[in-house]
Structure 1
Amino acid sequence: MTSPALAWPPRGSNAAVALLPWAIGLVTAIDYFDNALFAFFASYIAGGVNASPDELVWASSAYALGAVLGILQQHAWIERLGYRRYLAVCMFAFAVGGVGAALCDSSTQLTLARAVQGYFVGPMLGACRILIQIGIPPARRAKALKAFMVLIVFGGALAPIAGAFLVTEFDWRWLFASTAPVAALIGLLVLWTLPDIGDVEPHERTEPHYIAYVVFALAQAALQVVLTRSHFELFTGSPALIGLTIAGVAGLAWFGWQQWQHPAPLVRLHALRNASFRIGLALYVVYYYLSTGFSYLLPRMMEGGLGFTVGNTGYFTGAASLATGLLVFVYLKYSARLARKKWLIVTGFGIAALAAWWLSKVTPQAGREALLVPLLLRGLLMLFVVLPVANLTFKPFAAEEFAHGYRLKNLVRQLAISFATSTVIALQQHRLALHEVRLSESANPANASFMQALDSLTRGFAAAGHAAGEAHAMALGTLYRTLEQQATFMASLDGFTAMAVIALAAGIFAAWQRTID
């Protein structure tokens, strides 16, 4: 039976009660850690399973689809298992999925493993935040929220550092294998600390909505296919993509109408009537797009364009994120004194635009000192955007409306991350191909500089003891790698330019709004 928050039943020792907020926060932290890890080391994961860029997008889309379906069924599982068992089962299942992902040898296997992980860990942000709001007594809620925010910030910040160590010392499989024992331990901690709340008697459970769930799943899958394939083939020239789009939109429209009319829906859409909630969702979408874009573009530029090792990239980026993450304590202490948080949000998007613009102007000879300031600015995005947006978006809602609203927000989060991953990868592939073509046009006998560099490298390899033909081939290979590095670097600069434009537009949009303050 569900226990009210004001009668929160302590479970076990005083230590268990003290660790309870941290257990809830760790469940969400593993979600942020996993997402940051996958985005930051996507190229290594793709290389490990021999996946092309579009196959990597499939894995990201499968994770998002699994997460969205898991979010829709989250409430039903909680009514049957209670929060304690539901969170623990999700952690154990995520650990199993991590082992499966680590053992993958193909992109298809990785896609299936990520779908499983998405289904079980994707709903955790919403489940844990709702649990804090409706389950923890008001007297202890503030401390629980602080633990929740701190672990989210540092969960994402530690991912590049941990991933750099794992890839450098072991290989890409450990990116997934390392999360399995951690998730299992968090599951055990949840079983020990959380009380049994949230489950209800069978006759009190909400309707399962089987037909609506299947329609939504098929519609979402159809649109994910379109989103994935439209970046690699012409949409208007593919009747299959057009048909899938029509079917997907029609399915989602029917699902939305059916849920709006139903007295006990899977996800209550009536929160969209609130203007501040709609604007908050839009700002969330932009934040998740920018965050995912930065996470993907930074290692591409630093490793592929500037020649940083994976270790240096991960440690340097992670250290910058940790440094700015410490400011979360300052925010938690003084944010209540800021009456108009709207201008924090506007400033946050301005900072993101500045960081992206700064990175778009980096030269090929840039070292760490040239990257330090934009990386520190990038780390401020969560503090200046997400935390004040969360405060403004959900302030009008009572407990029940808060739960449905936050579940809807979590759906939007997963879709935004998936959309960002696919579009940023597609943008990179398009700009990379364009720059490779332009640079290769200069690699011909008519270009005196190219021929001079080729002759110089050939003589150098010949002087090192290589035969003339072998020395010539090695010189061509060296020049090709240089051109590829330059193309990767230039494509990354284009990506950051796009991020700057998006952030600037979001800042103008936020400043223009009068329903948020």
Structure 2
Amino acid sequence: MATGSAMLGKHPDLSAAQVYLFAFTLGCTTGVDFVASSMMGVAGTHIRGGIHASPEDFLWSLTSYAAAATVANLILGRLAKDISYRGYSLLGLGIATVGATLCAVCNTPLELSLARAVQGLGAGGLFTASRIIIQLAAAREERRPLFMGFNIGGMGLAALAPWITAVLVEDASWRMIFVVQAIMSAAAMLLVLGSYPRRLAASLAPWEVDVGGMDWVTVVLLGMGALVLLHGLGDLRFYELASSPSVSVTPLVGLALLAAVFVHQHRHPDPWLNPRLLFGRRYLAGLGFYTLYYFLNGLWAYVVPTMLQSGLGFTFQTAGKVLTVTGLIGCAGLCAFTYAGTRLKGQRRYIALGYLMFGAAAWLLSQRMMPGASIAVLLPALTLQSLTTPFILALVAGLTYAEFSVEDFAHAYQFKNIVRQIATAGGTGVASLWLQYGEALARTQLVARITPFDLPAGFDAATLASWSMLIDQQAQLIAVSNLFALLAFACVAVALVAVAQRALR
């Protein structure tokens, strides 16, 4: 801790209240990205209906945001050298405000996809920028208050997003979702202007940056690769590989473009993402655990709302409330870990504990997938999963970046968040593909068990429709149950790897 009464040795002019406001602003800035992604996922069906988009057309609005966010994480470090991370945060929030406003007035799928790309370009790099600012503004022993505010602002807003989304959609309009996002981005800009230390002020104005001197080959390759890969993964929701094998080619093309980025960066004299810094044993181990978590989280975030509404018949607002309650519990758990986590010894065991908790939550849900299951029955498992974040994410972060300098940390964290976008999309795509096959298989087996002797007297079209809906519901619950059971075994396997590995200690 800094000497005297100053909480931050690099910014002794900041009072305790100003430090806490600064920390909360870092979280709110990050929350702009989290909320934009969460609200779109929760209200996707309603937004799609509002612009009369097919599922395939609507997918572009999701992948355009993720691809633009990937590019934002790439250019972040280079822009911040000229305009500072404070300046980058203001620029990103301004672009995100414009993007959200454009989304609110869209009427077609194409318009929404373009507007979401603008929003992603602004909001997609804010998480990385805020996290790097913590490294720049405070010494290691001074960061706990910054992380506390960062978690409360970022995770708290993300937790509130499902409930707020449900209320806005049902009581107002899907357009209000984007209006709220625009207001949130603008409010975060004001907080940044009022709370970020002046030593983070810009050295150049945004219009003075040498745009022509940027490595546009990397920008184009990464942008195209991310868009193709993410859209290819998303396409798995709508096509079966057996009948449309060409669908698998698209993600492979995306991976090839991303590989070309690394080849180009390896040969570049001043790379934006330095491969030599990204292939260390400790970092690769941490990145592996990161990737697994975001993959599992993308899978979980796709399956759980689907299960609550389609499988178990809960209303949109009830599902939103459940997700918000569990999210707030997870936020509280992360804050408790931030306060006391440094006292934990034997970190590998706690990483394993996190995956065992994830696996236990999945197993509990797999055993409770039956019509009529109440929220009280499901809530313990959903709560247990929300409490895995400190062990799987926060602890891995502390170990992965322990030996990085501030400059190297920026490279590493940029790449980590690029991987985050891809891993999350991969988890969503795999979950969707599994449910397609799982539901089709279960439906076939259920229908095969119905014989003419099972038909009641007076069997008519209404009865047939009722039975069909019941079979569809049962098929979905069976597919979800099987997926969660498989996920539980996978988490146990990852926990064993966490205990055995030696890179993160």
TM-score bucket (shorter structure): 0.7 to 0.9
Q: Structure 1 residues 51 and 431 mapped into 2: Cα distance closer, same or farther (>3 Å)?
A: farther
**Structure 1 counterpart of 2:403, one-letter code:** P
Task: Give the letter for the 2:260 counterpart.
Answer: W
CA distance in 1, matches of 2:274, 2:68: 20
Equivalent runs, 1:3-22 vs 2, <5 Å? 7-8=10-11, 18-22=20-24
What does residue 96 of structure 2 align with? 94
**Contact kept? 1:392, 1:516, Cα under 8 Å:** yes
Counterpart for residue 111 of structure 1 = 113
Find the counterpart in structure 2 of residue 425 from structure 1.
Answer: 432
Query: What amino acid is aligned across from residue 480 of structure 1 in structure 2?
Result: S
Q: Give the CA deviation at 1:71.
A: 0.9
- 2:190 pairs with 188, 194, 200, which one? 188
Deviation string for 1:70-128 (max 9, x for gaps)? Answer: 11111233234333332122223222322333334444333333322222111111111
Indicate conservation of the 8 Å contact 1:290/1:503, yes or no.
Answer: no
Give the TM-score, by structure 2 length. 0.87
The residue that corresponds to 2:309 in the other structure is 303
Deviates more, 1:129-138 or 1:407-416: 129-138
CA distance 1:203–1:474, change in 2 (3 Å): closer
Q: Contact 2:168 / 2:174 at 8 angstroms: preserved in 1?
A: yes
Partner residue, 2:65 = 63
CA contact (8 A) 2:144 2:338 kept: no
Matched residues in 1 for 2:247 and 2:461: separation? Answer: 44
1:335 maps to which residue? 341
Q: Deviations over 1:277-324 (max 9, x none)?
A: 101111111111222222221121111111111111211232133234
- Structure 2 gaps of 5+ residues are 1-7
Matched, 1:392 2:428: no
Query: Is 100-109 or 308-317 further displaced after alignment?
Result: 100-109
Deviates more, 1:85-94 or 1:380-389: 85-94
User: Are positions 1:155 and 2:154 aligned together?
Assistant: no
- Alpha-carbon distance in structure 2 between the residues aligned to 1:306 and 1:87: 41
Match of 1:197 in 2: 200
Runs (4+) off by over 6 Å: 201-206
**Structure-1 separation of matches of 2:209 and 2:164:** 47
Shift of 1:222: 3.5
1:390-426: CA deviation from partner (whole Å, max 9, x where unpaired):
0111001111111111111111111111222222223
**Corresponding letter in the other structure for 2:294:** Y
Cα distance per residue 1:439-498 (max 9 Å; x no partner): 45566xx4333445x74xxxxxxxxxxxxxxxx544443333333322332332233234
Whether the aligned pair in 1 keeps the contact of 2:360 and 2:488 (CA below 8 Å) is: yes
| Partner amino acid, structure 1, of 2:317 | G
Counterpart in the other structure of 1:460:
none
CA distance in 2, matches of 1:47, 1:451: 38
> Among residues 128, 146, 150, which one is paired with 2:130 in the alignment?
128
Aligned length: 492
Q: Does 1:499 align with 2:487?
A: yes
* Counterpart AA for 1:320: T
| Match of residue 5 from structure 2 | none
Amino acid in structure 2 at the alignment position of 1:184 = A
Aligned counterparts, 1:281-430, within 5 A: 281-362=287-368, 363-430=370-437
d(CA) in 2 for partners of 1:399 and 1:356?
Answer: 38
C-alpha separation between the residues in 2 aligned to 1:489 and 1:376?
A: 20
Deviation at 1:55?
Answer: 4.1
Q: Check the 8 A contact 1:79/1:205 in 2, yes or no.
A: no
Distance 2:92 2:211 in 1: 20
What is residue 34 of structure 1 aligned with on the other side? 36
Deviation at residue 140 of structure 1 after TM alignment: 4.8
Report the CA distance between 1:56 and its aligned residue: 4.5
Q: 1:221 aligns with which of 216, 219, 227?
A: 227
Q: Does the 8 Å contact 1:57/1:421 carry over to 2?
A: no
User: Structure 1's 79 and 272: CA in aligned 2 closer, same or farther, altered over 3 A?
Assistant: closer
Residue 487 (structure 1) aligned with residue 467 (structure 2): no
Moved more, 126-135 or 493-502: 493-502
Alignment partners' CA distance in 1, 2:447 and 2:46: 26
User: 2-side partners of 1:119 and 1:434: how far apart?
Assistant: 41
Structure 1 match to 2:272: 266
Task: Tell me, yes or no, if the aligned pair for 1:91 and 1:184 is still in contact at 8 Å.
Answer: yes
**What amino acid maps onto 2:301 in structure 1?**
S
**Per-residue deviation, 1:334:** 1.8
Query: In structure 2, what is the equivalent of residue 24 of structure 1?
Result: 26
When residues 113 and 450 of structure 1 are mapped into structure 2, their CA distance, relative to the original with a 3 A threshold, is farther
- The one-character-per-residue Cα deviations of 1:313-348 (angstroms, maximum 9, x if unpaired) are 211232133234322332122211112211111000
Q: Identity, % of aligned pairs?
A: 28
Highest CA radius of gyration, 1 or 2?
1
Amino acid at match of 2:488: A
Q: Distance in 1 between matches of 2:478 and 2:273?
A: 43
Preserved CA contact (<8 Å) 1:167 1:310: no
The CA distance in 2 between the partners of 1:325 and 1:240, in whole Å, is 38
Q: Is the 8 A contact 2:357 2:384 kept in 1?
A: yes
Q: Which moved more, 1:19-28 or 1:140-149?
A: 140-149
Distance 1:423 1:101, change over 3 A: farther
RMSD: 3.1
CA shift, 1:203, in A, is 9.8
Residues 144-180 of structure 1, C-alpha deviations (whole Å, 9 max, x = no match): 1221123233233222222232233234333333222
CA distance in 2, matches of 1:88, 1:156: 20
